[in-house]
């Protein structure tokens, strides 16, 4: 049963128990480019209390550097080495886990942030924002010469998805021997300030259906992101028992935290609604704590 936080004492107890605070972004800190009320003050408060703060997002549209610019624009203190996005995790996975040979390329369905992380990791790629692939023209195999060096297809949130990209990705996975099907994450929906949009998982869904197989998904809830954080954050004494994951989605953030042995705090400013955690149809994924918004922790300021 989740503990519903409400009093100042509840938040003081949370502050005492956890030294490392992992924050999901979309639906927790902001919806699109609109900050959740109180998020800035709460992050400042945690830093004032010498808490370690990390940002762990499945949103693969931005690189760590892009996210740093977004945080700066929104007036939120953040440092590049505190930001872990699924674009960065995917690039690390391809280079350090898959150890894809240097003469192989990745066919990308995704945006410039994902391309930037692949470049920074020294991974050759094609597709992505290439104008040749960003077309609404109908696609024909007659007019296409596939690249035989493509060794993986990587699919992330792509707000310019089209039939050409899906057709090329499908054929690389069908034709190129050993071509690996990767997804940065599989969130079904994407929360914006104006409402829900199809998420990264809904961008890769046509490929899953056409191929009859699932991709290797890298983002939350998979442990890859946590492994990435532990590997890159060597300066920090990472104690899972004193770490809390703050998220808005049960099947990514909360499952990620639980699988990693972390405490979990669900907020209701994003995807998950009250009816999913209470009543007869409640999800079997139960967070340790629930509060309406991360802004509620401003109770600590009084």
Ligand X SMILES: O=C(O)[C@H](O)[C@H](O)COP(=O)(O)O
Binding partner of residue 288 among Mg ion, ligand X, none, CB under 5 to 8 Å per kind?
none
Binding partner of residue 221 among ligand X, Mg ion, none, CB under 5 to 8 Å per kind?
none
Q: Are 154 and 114 in contact (CB under 8 A)?
A: yes
Indicate the burial class of 302 (C-beta count within 10 angstroms; 0-12, 13-18, 19 or more). Answer: exposed
The distance of closest approach from Cβ of residue 248 to ligand X in the complex, given in angstroms and rounded to an integer, is 6
> What CA dihedral angle connects 57, 59, 65 and 66, to 10 degrees?
-130
The Cα–Cα gap between 182 and 76 comes to 32
The distance of closest approach from Cβ of residue 173 to Mg ion in the complex, given in angstroms and rounded to an integer, is 28
- Residue from the set 127, 151, 199, 221 that interacts with ligand X by CB under 6 A: 199
Question: Is 24 known to be catalytic?
Answer: yes
Strand order in the sheet with 52-57: 3-4, 289-291, 263-267, 243-247, 20-23, 52-57, 83-85
- Residue from the set 19, 133, 158, 187 that interacts with ligand X by CB under 6 A: 187
- Residue from the set 82, 248, 255, 288 that interacts with Mg ion by CB under 5 A: 248
- Residue from the set 5, 11, 22, 26 that interacts with ligand X by CB under 6 A: 26
CB atoms within 10 A of CB 177: 6
The Cα–Cα gap between 282 and 98 comes to 37
Instruction: List residues bridging with 21 in a β-sheet.
Output: 53, 244
Question: Is 187 known to be catalytic?
Answer: no
Task: Tell me which residue has tokens 């040979």.
Answer: 101
The yes or no reply on residue 24 touching ligand X (CB under 6 A) is yes
Residue 220 marked ligand-binding: yes
- What track of x and - describes contact with ligand X for positions 157 through 186 (by CB under 6 A)? x---------------------------x-
- Residue from the set 57, 66, 285, 291 that interacts with ligand X by CB under 6 A: 57
Q: Are 110 and 94 in contact (CB under 8 A)?
A: no
Catalog residues that contact ligand X under the rule CB under 6 A. Answer: 24-27, 57-59, 157, 185, 187, 190, 199-200
Binding residues: 24, 26, 220, 248
Kindly list the catalytic residues: 24, 26
Annotated binding residues for Mg(2+), as ranges? 24, 26, 248
């Amino acid at each position: 049963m989740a503990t519903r936080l409400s009093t100042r004492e509840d938040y003081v107890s949370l502050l005492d128990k956890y030294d490392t605070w992992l924050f999901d972004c979309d639906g927790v800190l902001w919806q699109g480019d609109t900050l959740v009320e109180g998020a800035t003050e709460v992050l400042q408060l945690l830093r004032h209390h010498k808490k370690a703060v990390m940002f762990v997002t499945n949103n693969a549209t931005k690189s760590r550097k892009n996210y740093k610019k977004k945080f700066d624009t929104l007036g939120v203190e953040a440092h590049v080495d505190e930001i872990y996005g699924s674009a960065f995790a995917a690039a690390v996975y391809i280079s350090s886990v898959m150890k894809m040979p240097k003469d192989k390329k990745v066919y990308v369905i995704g945006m410039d942030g994902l391309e930037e992380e692949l470049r920074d990791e020294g991974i050759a790629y094609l597709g992505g924002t290439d104008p040749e692939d960003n077309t609404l023209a109908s696609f024909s195999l007659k007019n296409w010469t596939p690249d035989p060096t493509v060794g993986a297809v990587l699919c992330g949130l792509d707000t310019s998805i089209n039939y050409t990209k899906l057709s090329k990705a499908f054929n690389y996975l069908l034709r190129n021997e050993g071509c690996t099907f990767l997804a940065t994450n599989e969130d079904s929906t994407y929360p914006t300030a104006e409402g829900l949009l199809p998420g990264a998982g809904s961008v890769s869904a046509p490929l899953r259906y056409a191929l009859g197989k699932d991709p290797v998904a890298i983002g939350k809830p998979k442990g890859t992101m946590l492994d990435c954080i532990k590997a890159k954050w060597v300066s920090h004494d990472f104690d899972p028992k004193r770490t809390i994951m703050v998220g808005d989605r049960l099947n990514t953030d909360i499952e990620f935290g639980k699988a990693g042995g972390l405490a979990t705090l669900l907020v209701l400013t994003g995807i998950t609604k009250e009816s999913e955690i209470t009543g007869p149809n409640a999800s079997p994924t139960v967070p340790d704590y629930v509060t309406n918004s991360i802004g509620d922790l401003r109770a600590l300021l009084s």
